[in-house]
Amino acid sequence: MKNKSKYTAAAAQLGPIDPGDTKESVVARMLDLLIEAKTKETALVVFPELCLTTFFPRYYITDPANLDTYYESEVPISLMSDMFELVRKEQIIISFGYAEKDNGIPFNTSVYVDSSGNIIGKYRKIHLPGHYEYEPERPFQHLEKRYFTKGNLGFPTFDTTLGRLGMCICNDRRWPETYRVLALQGCEVVTLGYNTPKHYPLAPEHDHLQEFHNHLCMQAAAYANGMWVIASAKAGLEDDCELIGGSCIISPRGEIVAEAKTTMDELVVAQVDLNECKLIRENIFNFNLHRQPEEYKLLTKIKL
């Protein structure tokens, strides 16, 4: 497939996945969104974080056998064979997130699959939010620090026919460093998925700002790094826990060019033009001309 600088991209938002939903039923929903993307001649489709199951870090799971059912020891190619077939036939690149066990080590992972049908990129979540110990006072847990290990692949970028792509996952999107590390490698499009509860038990005063904060961090980053951001939510009322929607596609100008209208399965589509990255990167955020890294040493000090 020849390189494209202009193409149609989509955030494939998923509505709630209830604890009793099988992975097969979820993959069937993902396939429906992928078929819709195909009818709209979409080249890049981004699915949410941990998109095969309910957001299980909300539970304190003590039975190791039960916890293990949420993880995949390898990319579930057989489970997603119809999707991979469509990706191959239609020259689409997809990304999706899943819980990975790599030789027993658990990661919150996302991958790219391209028309070769191969995994052409992998990222493991670095900013793990939440807590490790069970906190009974919470209305629901957020045990990502218990169930996952910090990612060990850095913030890689991947040269594809759709430009230089990079991934992050959920809480990573709130940290400006995530995008700058990717931008310094020439990343043009950041794809990410998220599961974000509306209620944040430690700061309920901010609950009404969740949707605003969601877009704020990505819009600022897209602009300050001259990158497209494609963000796909797992949304809606999932086992009595409300997850925000707001899936969107953000241009290097920092503008939201497409946004989800619902908190259900929804394909959010927009035209991407990689040349818009240059307009920012060669002018206001020309790193070589204007950036002063010798002044930023504090940014990478481990302990202040």
User: For ligand ING, which residue of 29, 122, 146, 174 counts as binding (CB under 6 A)?
Assistant: 174
49 catalytic? Reply is yes
Name the 3-class secondary structure at 96.
Answer: strand
Pick the catalytic residue from 51, 170, 187, 277.
170
Q: What are phi and psi of 278, to 5 degrees?
A: -60, -40
Pick the catalytic residue from 23, 49, 100, 266.
49
User: For ligand ING, which residue of 76, 117, 129, 186 counts as binding (CB under 6 A)?
Assistant: 129
Pick the catalytic residue from 23, 122, 125, 234.
125
303 catalytic? Reply is no
User: For ligand ING, which residue of 200, 239, 242, 278 counts as binding (CB under 6 A)?
Assistant: 200
Tokens representing residue 180 in the block: 């700058």
For ligand ING, give the closer residue by CB, 146 or 174: 174
User: For ligand ING, which residue of 16, 193, 197, 252 counts as binding (CB under 6 A)?
Assistant: 197
Please identify, among the stretches 133-141, 189-197, 246-254, 296-304, the one whose residues bind ligand ING according to the rule CB under 6 A: 189-197
For ligand ING, give the closer residue by CB, 60 or 200: 200
Would you count residue 171 as binding ligand ING (CB under 6 A)? Answer: yes
Could you tell me the smallest distance in angstroms from the CB atom of residue 227 to ligand ING?
Answer: 19
Determine contact, residues 227/278, Cβ cutoff 8 Å: no
Please identify, among the stretches 1-9, 159-167, 190-198, 279-287, the one whose residues bind ligand ING according to the rule CB under 6 A: 190-198
CA distance to 56, 88, 173, 185, per residue, from 152 (Å): 22, 29, 17, 18
CA distance to 6, 189, 215, 240, per residue, from 34 (Å): 19, 20, 24, 28
The Cβ-side half-sphere exposure at 95, using a 13 Å CA radius, reads 34
User: How many of the chain's residues bind ligand ING (CB under 6 A)?
Assistant: 9
Could you tell me the smallest distance in angstroms from the CB atom of residue 54 to ligand ING?
Answer: 13
Could you tell me the smallest distance in angstroms from the CB atom of residue 268 to ligand ING?
Answer: 18
Would you count residue 175 as binding ligand ING (CB under 6 A)? Answer: no
Would you count residue 196 as binding ligand ING (CB under 6 A)? Answer: yes
CA distance 185 to 202: 35
Q: Which residue intervals of 81-209 are DSSP H helices?
A: 81-90, 144-147, 176-183
Determine contact, residues 30/65, Cβ cutoff 8 Å: no
The Cβ-side half-sphere exposure at 141, using a 13 Å CA radius, reads 18
Sign (positive or negative) of CA dihedral 129, 219, 189, 178: negative
CA distance 22 to 285: 46
Residues recognised as catalytic:
49, 125, 170
Q: Which residue ranges make up the site for ligand ING (CB under 6 A)?
A: 129, 170-171, 174, 194-197, 200
